[in-house]
Amino acid sequence: MGESKESGAEERPKWDNKVQYMLTSIGFAVGLGNVWRFPYLCQIYGGGAFIIPYLIALAFEGLPLLYLELAIGQRLRMSSVGVWRSISPLLGGVGISSMIVSFLVSLYYNTIVAWVLWYFFHSFQEPLPWSQCPLNENKTGYNIECEKSTAVNYFWYRETLNITPDVGISGSLQWWNVVCLVSAWSVVYICFIKGIDSIGKAVYFTATFPYLVLTIFLIRALTLPGATDGLVYLFTPDWEILKNPKVWLDAATQIFFSLSIAFGGLIAFSSYNPEKNNCERDALVVGITNSATSIYGSIPIFAILGFKAKTAFNNCLEDNILTLTNYFNIADQNMTVENYDQWFDHFNTTYPGEVSALSLRDCDLKNFLDQSASGTGLAFIVFTEAVLEMPGSQVWAILFFIMLFTLGLSSMFGNIEGILTPMRELKLVPKWVPHEVLTGAVCLVSVLIGLIFTLGSGNYWVEIFNSYVGSIPFLVIAFFEIVGVIYIHGMKRFSEDIEFMTGRKPNIYWKACWMVISPIMLLVVFVSYVVIQAQTYPTYPAWNPDYESFPETEMKPYPDWVFAIIVILIVAPLVSIPLVAVYNLIRRGLKKSSDKGSLNPYKNEAFEIETHEVKPRD
């Protein structure tokens, strides 16, 4: 294409400078998942071994799709809806699907930001509120639920969520969560009130501050006892784990969702660039920075997890030391953590029956390191527990939750952009409606719908949205995106577009990925994901104080009505793709039959229609 179809048709907002665009794109791609999802996958999949399939997925799936979105958005200078409708009216539903998915993801994502605010506000207390159990109602002892679990678990499940024991029991609105939710959406509105003009200023802080905090945490974490154990655990590869196909599947899905592909936000952000801009370099910078952040962020996280595991391991040994000291009347300070193994071997060899009867705890450092947690469990349970053991715990808690807040906020910018810009292009609101009013209306509707997440069952619904909205819909959307650009728009035309923007055509690596490798990987991941999910009925972990194995969570199957909602959440965003395609096919058929029926040899219009029908495509 020699000229953009929209060139000069309507003046489009522009970034003040290239730095704003890059920071916004990086901030959108780098989110909470980089800090709490990637370390979890490394932990359960053999440490450094997981990085290999992760980097392969980045090279052959993540970067090609990211480059494609940035290039097509910059060339056509439209949002996700306009881009796909411009390529072919049959693909108009792809942009609508991206808009719906962005909206659904925003609903639960900002709820997590609200929880982060709740913890941030409580991080100023001395002592930290999750450091000790509260008294019972009679003030005669500690709360039973807290004693059975831990103070950290109690603060999360009872004080923060006030969670119900079943997803079918909604409970009431928790006013503190409502206040935090309104606050989180208010911050999003303030930052987005002027569109890219205001978020372009906000990203100078939200996109850079997390790196400052991660660096501070890295320096502090490396000085903690046990940090080395955590890092050895992270970087020691278990090569056998690579034989497990689920490792490759999770690596492919992690890099896909980590880059925020198929949301529509990246397409919208790149559309504000000048047409002559090196989008290939932009894609490489954003993609590599995102993955490097995941690895960089894992180092302090694993150092702190190693510290937590070492502390738990030492506490375990000290309990055993106390038991052995009392039973065998050993002088105090004779048996220590350092010489415990020698003493234990001596007693176990000399008095095997008596040692066996003592029921000593099994203290294995690797078992403590293996205790994995992902998502909210890592942020609000594991990390908050580790912070308690660190000197100056308030400072570290405040820094950690500010970092999570800025990570979540910068990702929300892309989500909201993926909603507002398509709404304008679909003409869902009149042109005279100010941007501030439209943004406020979207935020208000989001708050009202998001109240479901502030109920007693709210955490269960966050997990449902996170597991199912952010899965199959993205894979399907991305597949149609790459098919639309490469096989409908055409590889030849797309290469010419890139040459027009960057001064050179894409090399064989990009072409091979777009035409063969990436579509096949998307299909394989999609089919594998569906097969794995279809093998078992979906379940969820419920926090039930009456459960016989409490404080372990009780695994329950979802009720049928919840399962129906899960299906709707997966299917609803994708319905627009076939509906819009069928609508345009019917409309095209009706127009052709109408044109043929109106031909008249005595009128010049007949010649114009006939020549229009046979006019070759550019």
Q: Give domain status of residue 606, yes or no.
A: no
Confidence (pLDDT) at 616: 45
Q: Confirm whether residue 564 is marked as ligand binding.
A: no
Nearest to 158 by CA among 500, 505, 459, 387: 459
- For 55, the token pair is 């980097």
Amino acid identity, position 9 = A
Q: Give domain status of residue 124, yes or no.
A: yes
Lowest average pLDDT, out of 231-240, 366-375, 456-465, goes to 366-375
Confidence (pLDDT) at 466: 87
What would you measure as the largest C-alpha separation in the chain, in angstroms? 118
User: Are residues 410 and 207 in contact, defined by beta-carbon separation less than 8 angstroms?
Assistant: yes
Q: How far apart are the first and last CA of the chain?
A: 9
List, for residues 139-177, the tens digit of each pLDDT value: 788 888 998 888 998 999 999 999 999 999 999 999 999
Q: Which domain holds residue 130?
A: 18-595
Mean pLDDT of the chain: 87
CA distance 348 to 355: 6
Q: Give domain status of residue 356, yes or no.
A: yes
Q: Give domain status of residue 5, yes or no.
A: no
Q: Does position 602 have pLDDT exceeding 50, yes or no?
A: no
Confidence (pLDDT) at 606: 42
Confidence (pLDDT) at 613: 44
Confidence (pLDDT) at 443: 96
The residue to which tokens 């910078």 are assigned: 285
Helix ranges, 279-392 (H): 279-328, 340-350, 352-357, 365-370, 376-377, 383-388
Q: What Å distances lie between residue 580 and 90, 92, 263, 488, CA to CA?
A: 6, 6, 19, 16
- Domain of 173, CATH number, reads 1.20.1740.10
Q: Give domain status of residue 602, yes or no.
A: no
Nearest to 133 by CA among 115, 118, 148, 117: 148
Q: Confirm whether residue 30 is marked as ligand binding.
A: yes
Nearest to 92 by CA among 525, 480, 507, 493: 480
Q: Give domain status of residue 92, yes or no.
A: yes
Q: Confirm whether residue 27 is marked as ligand binding.
A: yes
DSSP secondary structure code for residue 239 in this structure: G
Using a cut of 0.85, tell me whether the model's pTM lies above it. yes
Q: Confirm whether residue 29 is marked as ligand binding.
A: yes
Nearest to 435 by CA among 193, 99, 198, 189: 193
Q: Does position 106 have pLDDT exceeding 80, yes or no?
A: yes
Q: Establish how many alpha carbons lie within 13 A of residue 272's alpha carbon, considering only the half-sphere containing its beta carbon.
A: 22
Q: Confirm whether residue 334 is marked as ligand binding.
A: no
List, for residues 68-104, the tens digit of each pLDDT value: 999 999 999 988 899 999 999 999 999 999 999 999 9
CA distance 451 to 455: 7
Q: Which helix (H) or strand (E) holds 554?
A: strand 554-557
Q: What domain count does the chain have? A: 1
- Other CB atoms within 10 Å distance of the CB of residue 401: 25
Q: Give domain status of residue 87, yes or no.
A: yes
Q: Confirm whether residue 187 is marked as ligand binding.
A: no
List, for residues 294-336, the tens digit of each pLDDT value: 999 989 988 888 888 888 898 889 888 888 888 888 877 788 8
Confidence (pLDDT) at 598: 55
Q: Give domain status of residue 4, yes or no.
A: no
Q: What Å distances lie between residue 304 and 66, 98, 232, 278, 494, CA to CA?
A: 32, 37, 12, 40, 47
Q: What Å distances lie between residue 496 and 2, 492, 503, CA to CA?
A: 8, 6, 9
